[in-house]
Amino acid sequence: MSTIFFKKSGSGHPLVLIHGFCENHEIWTEFAEALSEKFEVYLIDLPGFGNSPLPSEPFSIDSIGAEVSEWIDLKRIEQPIIIGHSLGGYVTLAMAARHPEKFAGIGLFHSTAYPDSEERKTNRNKVIEFVKAHGVDPFIDTFIPSLFFNKKHLAIPAVDKIARSTSQQTLLAYTAAMRDRPSSIDFLKKVSKPLLILGGDKDSVIPAEITKELGQLNRKSIVHLFKNTGHMAMYECPQEAQKVITEFVETIPGAIPKI
């Protein structure tokens, strides 16, 4: 039985938004309000974040994807569109690779199908050692501002508060899982489902060049780069992001928004 916590709002075609690293469902709360006027929107807490318990056994991004997929089955959510932010995008790809037939469309929101480079893996290991030695808060002090292009953005305190609710065990386990995740490039090239790839032109986590490269791998891709935006378009340019997502849904047969 899945223990994933979620909140549901609106009606229409189902849209599942999956948060990123050191986040929970609250990251989408304001952003989802406009979307719920047209869609049935689900905001979930990934296992270990928010109100969803961390798995007792060692896990991978793939096994987290399997748990979220099981939750979708249990809730009988038919042909949802899944959009994942950063870490949530890795989970989205893992789910879609297992059961592409379950989903009407998939979206990467400041995320990538590439595996970690050796340099990135080294940095993940440094994060693990730093957090083991110093705890979560000193890591969050620098991590959250780095996600925004404008380092004085008014949303930073709220996002910072959400991030500090992350337990050390969860932070360490997901850092290792992200480090060890496989490539999803082959899947991205061959998947026949509608594909939305969103990025920021000032994103220091997923550079704009990577977002553009991903968009060239599959002819079904719709790619959109937000201007003067870092890694957090749901806060940095919410109205534009909502518009792009709505227009994406309108391209999917059988997933027309509620009028």
Enter the DSSP assignment of 18. E
Q: Mean pLDDT across the stretch 226-246?
A: 98
- Exposed e or buried b per residue across 238-255, where buried means at least 16 C-beta atoms within 10 angstroms of its C-beta: beebbebbbebbeebeeb
pLDDT, position 58: 86
**pLDDT given at position 207:** 97
Would you state the pLDDT for residue 256?
56
Q: How far apart are CA 198 and CA 184, in angstroms?
A: 17
pLDDT band at 1 (very low <50, low <70, confident <90, very high): low
For range 157-169, the mean pLDDT? 98
More confidently predicted of 91 and 253? 91
pLDDT at 257: 55
Per-residue pLDDT at 161 exceeds 90: yes
pLDDT at 186 over 60: yes
As a whole number of angstroms, the distance between CA 234 and CA 236 comes to 6
Q: Do the bridges between strand 195-200 and strand 14-18 make them parallel or antiparallel, or are there none, so unpaired? A: unpaired
- 6-114+183-250 is classed in which CATH architecture? 3-Layer(aba) Sandwich (3.40)
- pLDDT of 251: 85
Per-residue pLDDT reduced to its tens digit, 63-79: 999 999 999 999 999 99
DSSP string covering 140-199:
HHHHHHHT-SSTT-TTHHHHHHHHTTS-HHHHHHHHHHHHHPPP-HHHHHH--S-EEEEE
* Measured distance CA(242)–CA(71) in Å, rounded: 25
Rg (CA), the chain: 17
**pLDDT score recorded for residue 76:** 96
pTM, entire model: 0.96
Residue 251 DSSP label? T
Q: pLDDT tens for residues 9-61?
A: 999 999 999 999 999 999 999 999 999 999 999 999 999 999 999 998 889 99
